[in-house]
Amino acid sequence: MDIHSEKIVILDFGSQTTQLIARRIREQKVYSEIHPFSTPLEKIKELKPTGIVLSGGPCSVYDEDAPLCDPEIFELGVPVLGICYGAQLMIQQFDGKVEKAVKREFGKAYLNVHYTAGLFAGLETGEAVHQVWMSHGDRIEVLPEGFEVTATSEHSPYAALRHKEKPFVAVQFHPEVAHTLIGNDILRNFIFGICNCQPEWTMHSFIEQNVKAIREQVGDDNVICALSGGVDSSVVAAIIHKAIGNQLTCIYVNNGLMRTGESESILRFFKEKSKLNVIDVNAEEFFLKELEGVEDPEIKRKRIGLGFIKIFEEEAKKIGKVRYLAQGTLYPDVIESVSFRGEAPIKSHHNVGGLPEIMKLDLIEPVRELFKDEVRELGLELGLPEEAIYRQPFPGPGLGIRIMGEVTAERLRILRQSDVIVLDEMRKAGWYRKVWQSFAVLLPIQTVGVMGDGRTYEHVVAIRCVDSRDAMTADWSKLPYEILGEISTRIINEVRGVNRVVYDISSKPPATIEWE
């Protein structure tokens, strides 16, 4: 059921910043979603887009195997914005000419605006007035009939374009990135000035629309919710409970891969401070047996996902008349679990790629189209307390994907004790809410050390702290050395089996936030 009266559809050609386009549009209170460039025309028609964005990408439009969208999208009567590769593709499909640039443009550039309407409405003209961010090795050389230039840069004679009669516009730079200082103005002009959208997509309207949709979908059936205690599943439980009340039963599964004291804390919170009906299942032995001897992270994720589904189906039989399983799948989970060009996905999320093809329960995923910070906003709108909303994200597979290699009871002990210290020191220093995530990872290696004048050969623990808004991109947190030093000293002194602590200074991309 499509509950969005207006939407901007983004066709993804492989840019690392495609998700940012969706975020920037949503920030204007207009719904936007991402689809592969190869989406069939009929599917695009079904989406009923108010506007279409063609994203950037790493290829050249003149390559033999260049990704192409259906050119018939230009016959839908819908405004289209091409960005970088998307701009070049638009021009090529209208019989213009794109060639390899003599002088490439990467990074900061300055725009000369020649046409102060359309994308540049309200912006001043002049030479080198507006800073933008370029990232291209090709450039448009010949305009097709009907197009005209609206802005130039030092190395791009056609840095921005418009069709004189149709609602087609294109930019060679990236308006979605922060370095393009007029990026939000350009996107606003496209959304409201060219697409004529209304800023009506808010968390309040999201609740109203989804509550109605959930009621219609569920009818008289019962729903079970996979409750992990994290932000996502807590918000899912809240919105479904608002829709159907006692037809919802929440199931908390202790998979033996939780942090120290976490299961007890989660159950105490939901049983004492919420109106939810919560069943708790202790499945520690089951999951440890499922993971015995498994080292491959993809197999871990899939076995954990299948294990959860098996337990949910067993519990559903006890309740009776259960048709639906609700879970906290987020938009980044969906994006990272889908391959747009046939390559392997980034990773299989336990609640996306790990699901069996045939499941006895149908899924309800009310926050599937939201980013993490949007889910937090939704939770606050639903009245959830801040202690539930601002917990750091914790992966569904738990510590199973923070232990590199086989998961054993002893390795879980080492990681749990290390992780408690990380979170304790982050809270004491006032940094817990300043970062997106902070946690420990147990590496599959041992190193030589000296403890008490004796040689040791023990485990290595890595500390991972990142800053992010939505988990699609992240940078490593610049923690004060004093915090890192205290964490390291405590882990080595207090956790038997560890003689070395390292700090992960990788960003995403190229790394991911979790190690597996």
The radius of gyration of the chain's CA atoms, rounded to the nearest angstrom, is 25
* 46 labelled catalytic: no
Q: Which of 276, 268, 267, 270 is nearest to 240 (CA)?
A: 276
Q: Which of 168, 164, 110, 104 is nearest to 138 (CA)?
A: 104
* 176 labelled catalytic: yes
Helix (H, G, I), strand (E, B) or coil at 116: coil
Burial of 352 (0-12, 13-18, 19+ CB in 10 A): buried
> Any residues with CB less than 8 A from the CB of 366 and at least 6 apart, and which?
210, 214, 236, 239, 240, 326
Active-site entry in 6, 105, 176, 290: 176
- How far apart (Å, rounded) are the C-alpha atoms in residues 143 and 289? 64
Dihedral pair phi/psi, residue 332, rounded to 5°:
-60, -35
> Any residues with CB less than 8 A from the CB of 23 and at least 6 apart, and which?
176, 371, 469, 470, 472
- How far apart (Å, rounded) are the C-alpha atoms in residues 185 and 120? 8
426 touches 439 (CB < 8 A): no
- CB atoms < 10 A from the CB of 232, how many? 25
102 touches 156 (CB < 8 A): no
Active-site entry in 4, 130, 174, 241: 174
Active-site entry in 84, 195, 250, 465: 84
Strand partners, 36: 12
Dihedral pair phi/psi, residue 191, rounded to 5°:
-65, -50
Structure tokens at 74: 């230009």
Q: Which of 189, 187, 197, 188 is nearest to 83 (CA)?
A: 187
3-class secondary structure per residue, 454-507: EEEEEEEEEEEEEECCCCCCEEECCCCHHHHHHHHHHHHHHCCCEEEEEECCCC
In angstroms, how far is CA 115 from the centroid of its own chain? Answer: 36
Q: Which residues are catalytic?
A: 84, 174, 176
